[in-house]
């Protein structure tokens, strides 16, 4: 129940931050929301214990989705080379490299 109450409070802070951003346009909404969260956490001495799974689901997934939705499509197409080079040079050979170095 504490987790659901905390989620509802965070949603209320996000909405409040968006409303403040309508009147204070020069400051990015993410900075306003982070400041609101910091103020509330320090004022009420809130400590929230969240498991890694819930953190990824509640915070990281919406942030990554929002960034992907607002990313310029032309720039994304322009950067397709580095997007393919990075996994092909680092991520895909890594299991082989670690496997051969561990087995001797």
The lowest-confidence range among 18-22, 38-42, 63-67, 93-97 is: 93-97
Express as a percent the part of the chain with pLDDT over 70.
Answer: 91
Average confidence (pLDDT) over 7-14: 88
The answer for residues whose C-beta is within 8 angstroms of residue 38's C-beta and 6 or more apart is none
Confidence band for 22, pLDDT divided at 50, 70 and 90: very high
Domain residue limits, the chain:
2-103
What does the pLDDT read at residue 15? 92
Upper half-sphere CA count for residue 84 (Cβ side, 13 Å): 6
Mean pLDDT of the chain: 83
Segment of 9-23, 40-54, 60-74 carrying the highest mean pLDDT: 9-23
Between 93 and 40, residue with greater pLDDT: 40
């Amino acid at each position: 129940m504490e987790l659901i109450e905390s989620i509802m409070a965070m949603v209320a802070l996000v909405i409040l931050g968006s409303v403040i951003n309508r009147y204070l346009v020069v400051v990015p909404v993410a900075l306003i929301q982070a400041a609101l969260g910091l103020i509330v956490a320090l004022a009420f001495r809130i400590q929230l214990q969240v498991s890694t799974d819930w953190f990824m689901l509640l915070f990281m997934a919406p942030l990554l989705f929002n960034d992907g939705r607002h990313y310029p499509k032309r720039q994304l197409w322009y950067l397709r080379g580095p997007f393919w080079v990075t996994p092909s040079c680092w991520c895909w050979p890594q299991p082989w490299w670690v496997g051969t170095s561990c087995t001797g």
